[in-house]
Amino acid sequence: MDLDYSPDERAFREQVRAFVGANLPPALSAKVHGGKRLTRDDYLSWHRILARQGWVAPGWPKEHGGPGWTAVQQQIFDDECAAAGAPRILPFGVRMVAPVIMRFGNAAQKAHFLPRILSGEDWWCQGYSEPGAGSDLASLKMRAERKGDHYVVNGQKTWNTLGQYADWIFVLARTATEGRPQEGISFLLVDMKTPGITVRPIRMLDGEHEINEVWFEDVKVPLANLVGEENKGWTCAKFLLGHERTGIAGVGPCKRELKHLKEFARAERASGRPLIEDARFRDRIAQVEIELMALEVTNLRVLSAEGEKRAPGPEASILKIRGTEIQQTLSELKMQALGAYGIPYVPEALDGGWDGDPVGEDYAAPVTGHYFNMRKTSIYGGSNEIQKNIIAQMILGL
């Protein structure tokens, strides 16, 4: 593999960098770089800027409105957006449900939903995990009973990210009870405004309302919103999880966090000696940087497979494991770099425009909350322990 960028790829990087520099609002970039709390409008404003340029869905083929970029172009785009301080494009629509609709949906579903995902008109969220079915997703209990021209859905979903903002949710529901647990599951698209849906917040370690539990009580879902075949939703579920785990790797944001970590480590400390001069700490930074470089190469391999219209395979589990471990390590090293200033947590300091007295340097305020938030990454999308089982069975043949 040639790891040097070609002249065309270097020109593409300059094109992306120029566009992002000219169109990313400085106030939004400052919020991202400063670890501030992002609003619904923050996410949507950047989504719509990219949508107008035709760049909001880097992995989509041209026939569905994507740019048709190569794997390298996708990685360059993610790098430049992250480095500039752009908010991430939320994955639930663009990277998760959209590929499922492209692969398994009918013509009417593609014509209706894909343009609305591209434009940002519909905000999507995920309905997979349940209180008794997380990593063991096949044991889910939510029922969808077919009655005439619709399903009646009852049950509960949990660990639902940003569902308080969502217009639509994609859910796995049990439509039959015979056979293996993976059988009898269907993939449904549900309008969040449908009567009978209740969203209740779950407060995380950092005190933020990022996730929810969602209750369904006699929720009517049209048969037209079934994706693929009834009772064959497990195939859709696995396909979607491959795309989700690829996106979790977060190479671009990790590069941005690594840059911030180095800035922290070079800052003068009370002792007058920057932490970067400590050989053991410097070695830990070097180790995580090497791991991130290896992750980037693996990520390119997986993106290349997607470009050849192959679903992400078990190698997506490698991305999920290493990506989340790197994210957690970076947050831990930033806490160490701050020393005593990393102990207090001031949630109010995450609001844009907050003018209270900082604890230590201004940049210290969000670090503790970010550390708390990163504890979840090795669990969602299928816990890292489950991913190791997948690798053992499907790659190593154990």
The one catalytic residue in 244, 257, 296, 306 is 244
Name the amino acid, one letter, at 294: A
Distance of CA 229 to the CA centre of its chain: 27
How far is it, in rounded angstroms, from Cα 346 to Cα 367?
10
Residue 101's CB: how many other CB atoms inside 10 A?
Answer: 23
How far is it, in rounded angstroms, from Cα 191 to Cα 199?
13
The answer to whether residues 154 and 228 touch, using CB atoms and an 8 Å cutoff, is no
Return all residues near 343 (Cβ < 8 A) that are at least 6 apart. Answer: 368
Phi-psi region of 95 (alpha: psi -120 to 50; beta: other; left: phi over 0): alpha
244 an active-site residue? yes
To 10 degrees, what angle do helices 279-307 and 315-338 make? 150
Which tokens is 374 given?
């990163």
Residues involved in catalysis = 244
